């Protein structure tokens, strides 16, 4: 398995899980065949043959960062009679291209068209679409304009850009106590813009001085798009394609197996997950980041070990982006033109979805205190209609902050408060 | 390791002489900014003890609203500019970046 990851055959930790699952299913199929051949009465369903995706499934394609959320939403959608099929192939910009016409044809798939998110017990199996089709929803870590490299224009009036939860991006190193804990935007500029591209060695930033150890993705990756902007680099000047990894999984595995200080890679925070059976936490840790104009570096959460994501939520940690859900828009209502798609979007900030996001270290809009209107743009104060900061921290950390007051309805929260998911929040 | 600690300590002590502004201590949307703790000495993932990034232990109270005054030089008011958001007072671990190198510009890109 690890060899497959290192070789780039597996694109992500999720695919590792899929392979394990498929191996198990194949083994079950073999047992079933043997049982039939010997007159046994085993009627186990062979899952090795891909099933057909439901005809009316809502197909989502794009950013792998959205997958934990989609897993949770798919269960809720199923209860409303809506089946969700999801594929992460192509990354953020091809998620954009699934809905917005670009210079690159949208990805059309039939065989292995997507994961069966509608099946709560088997969400990572794959199914076949009856006809080749583009996605109903394109998921992306970046605005459409950030995908100009594949010809994406600004989001047209006919397309809805639904701003979903916030994904944090990190520069990650091998977890050795002697290696640095913080990096700056200017250092990232030098490292990925000059050293990684074979430039003047006098600009090197120790210990990140070995070009081949500076691990990247590709220009269609939302992770790479975000880091290029955070470092102040044009996307075309960010690193060298020969350092690109085939996905977050291979990149994570490469850091995990490279115990040297020169290794540095770009990841989404929730790419750093335990893998294998039993799951083992990788020896990979995110660095604190000091942005342009900032006096100190900060982790995504209040400390290196916390999970409150407070620095993302309040603007101390800058390399983050909303997950965008692009879909065709009804000109009259301004909502999704496909009624089932709109129902799916309406589920994104439900309590169950917030729980799933918190555990995946992704921040729902209701827990944010700042917003931005372009990738790596300036912050403005943000106050959600139904703030969920207390509930989010409880789900992320196990306990709510001491400053939070539990409630069952608005009466416990005073005239200026409201009860949201069991805690008093500001109106 | 000792050299690293020394560099961090010197940087922290000499970094800023600017005090907190206490003219307005509410965050966006009128939400009260209540720091969760006042600790500043932290142990990052590395296990390395990083020294205090500065600032006083006292909180600034203004109309019942509190500000941690940390790290040193932080902004206590309601942020309106990017620099104010990025440098708002917080009890989160604040880490000086002390690696020295020659800063590149767009003209230095190969």
Across the interface, do A194 and B16 touch by the CB < 8 Å criterion?
A: no
Q: Which residue has the higher pLDDT, A246 or A112?
A: A246
What's the pLDDT score for residue B50? 39
pLDDT tens digits for range A293-312: 999 999 999 999 999 999 99
Interchain contact A204–B (C-beta under 8 A):
yes
Domain membership of residue A377 (yes or no) is no
Across the interface, do B97 and A233 touch by the CB < 8 Å criterion?
A: no
> For residue A180, which of A317, A288, A75 has the smallest C-alpha distance?
A288
Could you give the 3-state DSSP secondary structure of residue A138? strand
Q: How high does pLDDT run on average in chain A?
A: 84
Judgement on whether residues A335 and A402 belong to the same structural domain of the protein? no
Across the interface, do A311 and B102 touch by the CB < 8 Å criterion?
A: no
B39 vs chain A: nearest CA distance in angstroms? 11
Contact A323, A164 (CB under 8 A): yes
What's the pLDDT score for residue A87? 81
Say yes or no to pLDDT of B8 above 60: no
Pick from B5, B11, B45, B99 the residue to mutate for testing the A interface (most A CBs within 10 Å): B45
- What pLDDT band is residue B68 in, cutting at 50, 70 and 90? confident
Domain membership of residue A6 (yes or no) is no
What's the pLDDT score for residue B13? 36
Please list every residue in chain B whose beta carbon sits closer than 8 Å to the beta carbon of residue A399: none
pTM attached to this predicted model: 0.77
Say yes or no to pLDDT of A402 above 50: yes
Judgement on whether residues A218 and A282 belong to the same structural domain of the protein? yes
Could you give the 3-state DSSP secondary structure of residue A6? helix
Contact A331, A341 (CB under 8 A): no
What value does the mean pLDDT take over residues A405-413?
95
Interchain contact A206–B (C-beta under 8 A):
yes
Domain membership of residue A220 (yes or no) is yes
Judgement on whether residues A281 and A346 belong to the same structural domain of the protein? no
Across the interface, do A187 and B101 touch by the CB < 8 Å criterion?
A: yes
What's the pLDDT score for residue B73? 93
Cα–Cα distance between B25 and A143 in angstroms, integer? 33
Cα–Cα distance between A421 and A409 in angstroms, integer? 9
Residue A103 is given by DSSP the state S
Q: Minimum mean pLDDT among A100-114, A393-407, B9-23: which range?
A: B9-23
Domain membership of residue A258 (yes or no) is yes
**Which sign does the torsion angle of CA A167, A171, A175, A178 carry?**
negative
Interchain contact A401–B (C-beta under 8 A):
yes
Residue A330, CA atoms < 13 Å, CB-side half-sphere: 11
Domain membership of residue A61 (yes or no) is yes
Q: Which residue has the higher pLDDT, B33 or A391?
A: A391
Say yes or no to pLDDT of B17 above 80: no
Interchain contact A346–B (C-beta under 8 A):
no
Using CB atoms, which residue from A199, A303, A314 is nearest to B109? Answer: A199
What value does the mean pLDDT take over residues A264-281?
89
| Number of structural domains found in chain A | 3
Domain membership of residue A1 (yes or no) is no
Domain membership of residue A127 (yes or no) is yes
Q: Which residue has the higher pLDDT, A256 or B15?
A: A256
Using CB atoms, which residue from A293, A294, A310 is nearest to B92? Answer: A310
pLDDT tens digits for range A310-346: 999 999 999 999 999 999 999 999 999 999 999 999 9
- CB burial of A37-59 (b: ≥16 within 10 Å; e: otherwise) equals eeeeeeeeeebeeeeebbeebbb
pLDDT tens digits for range A370-390: 999 999 999 999 999 999 999
pLDDT tens digits for range B54-66: 554 444 444 334 6
Judgement on whether residues A261 and A156 belong to the same structural domain of the protein? no
Cα–Cα distance between B5 and B95 in angstroms, integer? 12
Cα–Cα distance between B33 and B66 in angstroms, integer? 6
Judgement on whether residues A390 and A420 belong to the same structural domain of the protein? yes
What's the pLDDT score for residue B26? 31
Helices (H), A41-178: 67-79, 91-97
**Cis-peptide, bond into residue B71, ω within 30° of zero:** yes
What value does the mean pLDDT take over residues B23-47?
31
Please list every residue in chain A whose beta carbon sits closer than 8 Å to the beta carbon of residue B91: 302
Pick from B12, B16, B30, B44 the residue to mutate for testing the A interface (most A CBs within 10 Å): B44
Judgement on whether residues A24 and A171 belong to the same structural domain of the protein? yes
Cα–Cα distance between B46 and A169 in angstroms, integer? 20
Judgement on whether residues A25 and A172 belong to the same structural domain of the protein? yes
First to last CA, chain A: 50
The answer to ipTM > 0.85 is no
How large is the C-alpha radius of gyration of chain B? Answer: 16
Using CB atoms, which residue from A318, A403, A426 is nearest to B30? Answer: A426
Give whichever of A2-6, A99-103, A394-398, B44-48 has the largest mean pLDDT.
A394-398
pLDDT tens digits for range B75-95: 999 999 999 999 999 999 999
Judgement on whether residues A179 and A274 belong to the same structural domain of the protein? yes
Domain membership of residue A4 (yes or no) is no
- What pLDDT band is residue B11 in, cutting at 50, 70 and 90? very low
- Among A290, A313, A336, the domain-final residue is A313
> For residue A187, which of B43, B38, B75, B104 has the smallest C-alpha distance?
B104
Q: Minimum mean pLDDT among A177-186, A267-276, A342-351: which range?
A: A267-276
What's the pLDDT score for residue B47? 33
Please list every residue in chain A whose beta carbon sits closer than 8 Å to the beta carbon of residue B87: 293-296
Contact A68, A362 (CB under 8 A): yes
Please list every residue in chain A whose beta carbon sits closer than 8 Å to the beta carbon of residue B27: 314, 369, 381
Say yes or no to pLDDT of B4 above 80: no
Residue A24 corresponds to which tokens in the numbers above? 């198990």
Q: Which residue has the higher pLDDT, A372 or A115?
A: A372
| A residues 230-259 lying closer than 8 A (beta carbon) to B | 233, 237
| Residue-number span of the structural domain to which A119 is assigned | 35-140+148-160+323-371
Judgement on whether residues A306 and A352 belong to the same structural domain of the protein? no
Using CB atoms, which residue from A180, A304, A370 is nearest to B93? Answer: A304
- What pLDDT band is residue A121 in, cutting at 50, 70 and 90? confident
Interchain contact A295–B (C-beta under 8 A):
yes
CB atoms within 10 A of CB B50: 24
Interchain contact A279–B (C-beta under 8 A):
no
Judgement on whether residues A193 and A291 belong to the same structural domain of the protein? yes
Judgement on whether residues A349 and A400 belong to the same structural domain of the protein? no
CATH value at residue A115? 3.40.190
What's the pLDDT score for residue A43? 33
Judgement on whether residues A200 and A252 belong to the same structural domain of the protein? yes
- What pLDDT band is residue B24 in, cutting at 50, 70 and 90? very low
Using CB atoms, which residue from B1, B95, B108 is nearest to A194? Answer: B108
- What pLDDT band is residue A17 in, cutting at 50, 70 and 90? very low
What's the pLDDT score for residue A279? 86
């Amino acid at each position: 398995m690890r060899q497959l990851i290192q070789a780039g055959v597996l694109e992500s930790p999720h695919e590792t899980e899929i392979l394990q699952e498929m191996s198990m299913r194949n083994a079950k199929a073999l047992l079933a065949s043997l049982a039939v051949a010997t007159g046994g009465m085993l009627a186990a369903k062979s899952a090795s043959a891909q099933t057909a995706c439901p005809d009316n499934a809502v197909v989502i394609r794009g950013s792998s960062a959205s997958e934990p959320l989609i897993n949770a939403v798919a269960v809720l959608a199923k209860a409303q009679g809506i089946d969700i099929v999801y594929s992460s192939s192509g990354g953020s910009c091809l998620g954009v291209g699934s809905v917005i016409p670009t210079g690159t044809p949208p990805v059309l798939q039939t065989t292995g068209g997507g994961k069966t998110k509608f099946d709560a017990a088997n969400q990572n199996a794959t199914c076949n679409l009856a006809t080749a089709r583009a996605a109903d929803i394109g998921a992306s870590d970046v605005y459409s304009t950030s995908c100009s490299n594949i010809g994406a224009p600004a989001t047209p009036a006919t397309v809805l850009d639904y701003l979903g939860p916030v994904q944090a991006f990190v520069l990650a190193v091998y977890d050795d106590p002697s290696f640095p804990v913080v990096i700056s935007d200017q250092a990232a500029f030098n490292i990925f813009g000059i050293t990684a591209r074979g430039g003047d060695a006098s600009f090197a930033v120790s210990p990140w001085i070995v070009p081949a150890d500076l691990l990247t993705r590709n220009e269609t990756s939302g992770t790479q798009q975000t880091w290029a902007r955070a470092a102040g680099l044009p996307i075309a000047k960010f690193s060298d394609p020969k350092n690109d990894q085939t996905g977050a999984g291979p990149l994570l595995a490469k850091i995990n197996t490279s115990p040297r200080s020169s290794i540095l890679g770009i990841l989404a925070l929730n790419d750093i997950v335990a893998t294998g059976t039993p799951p083992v936490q990788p020896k990979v840790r995110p660095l604190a980041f000091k942005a342009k104009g900032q006096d100190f570096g900060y982790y995504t959460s209040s400390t290196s070990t916390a999970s409150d994501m407070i620095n993302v939520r309040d603007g101390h940690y800058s390399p983050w982006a909303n997950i965008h859900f692009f879909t065709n828009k009804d000109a009259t209502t301004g909502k999704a033109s496909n009624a089932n798609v709109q129902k799916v979007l309406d589920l994104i900030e439900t309590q169950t979805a917030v729980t799933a996001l918190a555990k995946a270290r992704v921040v729902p809009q209701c827990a944010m205190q700042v917003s931005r209107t372009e990738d790596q743009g300036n912050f403005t104060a943000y106050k959600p209609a139904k703030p969920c900061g207390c509930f989010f921290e409880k789900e992320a950390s196990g306990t709510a902050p001491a400053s939070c007051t539990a409630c069952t309805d608005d009466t416990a929260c005073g005239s200026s408060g409201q009860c949201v998911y069991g805690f008093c929040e500001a109106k | 390791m000792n050299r690293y600690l020394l560099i961090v300590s010197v940087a922290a002590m000499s970094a800023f002489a600017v005090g907190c502004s206490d003219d307005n201590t509410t965050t966006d949307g009128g939400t009260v900014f209540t720091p969760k703790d006042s600790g500043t000495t932290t142990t990052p993932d590395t296990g390395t003890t990083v020294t205090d990034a500065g600032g006083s232990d006292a909180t600034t109270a203004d109309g019942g609203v509190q500000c941690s005054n940390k790290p040193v030089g932080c902004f206590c008011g309601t942020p309106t500019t990017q620099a104010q958001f990025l440098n708002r007072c917080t009890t989160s671990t604040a880490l000086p970046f002390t690696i020295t190198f020659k800063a590149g510009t767009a003209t230095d890109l190969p």
